[in-house]
């Protein structure tokens, strides 16, 4: 139960961060085009 809760919490904070990182990486690739 505690592990599931931990996973859920990490997903809640991790998803927006992953979205932000993906967008930033997308922009960063422009540097090497």
Partner 1 sequence: MSATTPDGLGTGRDGPPRSADDEQRVGFFDRRRTCAPRDYNRFLVPPAALAVHLSIGQAYAFSTFNLPLSTLLGGEHASPNDWSLVQIGWTFSIAIFVLGLSAAIFGRWVERVGPRKAMGVAALCFGGGFLVAALGIATHQLALLYLGYGVLGGCGLGIGYIAPVSTLIKWFPDRPGMATGMAIMGFGGGAMIAAPLSLFLMAHFRSPESNGVAATFVTMGCLYFAFMMFGAVMVRVPPGDWRPVGWVAPRTPRKLVTQAHVAVDKAWRTPQFWLLWGVLCMNVTAGIGVLGQASPMIQEMFGGRVTPAAAAGFVGLLSLFNMGGRFFWASISDYLGRRNTYFVFFLLGIVLYATVPSIGRAGSIVGFVAAFALILSMYGGGFATIPAYLRDMFGTMHVGAIHGRVLTAWACAGVLGPVLVNYLRQYQIDNGVAKAQAYSVTMYVMCGMLLIGLLCNLAITAVDPRHHHPPGEDAR
Q: Shortest distance, CB of residue 13 to partner 1, whole angstroms?
A: 4
Q: Distances from the Cα of 7 to the Cαs of 17, 18, 19, in angstroms?
A: 15, 15, 18
> Is residue 2 a contact residue for partner 1 (CB under 8 A)?
yes
> Is residue 30 a contact residue for partner 1 (CB under 8 A)?
yes
**Half-sphere exposure for 10 (CA within 13 Å, toward CB):** 6
> Is residue 4 a contact residue for partner 1 (CB under 8 A)?
no
User: Computed from CA positions of residues 10, 12, 16, 18, in that sequence, does the dihedral angle turn out positive or negative?
Assistant: positive
Give me the residues that bind partner 1 (CB under 8 A), please: 2-3, 5-6, 9-10, 12-13, 16-17, 19-21, 23-25, 27-33
């Amino acid at each position: 139960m505690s592990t599931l809760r931990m996973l859920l919490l990490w997903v809640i904070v991790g998803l927006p961060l992953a979205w932000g990182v993906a967008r930033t990486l997308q922009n960063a690739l422009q540097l090497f085009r």
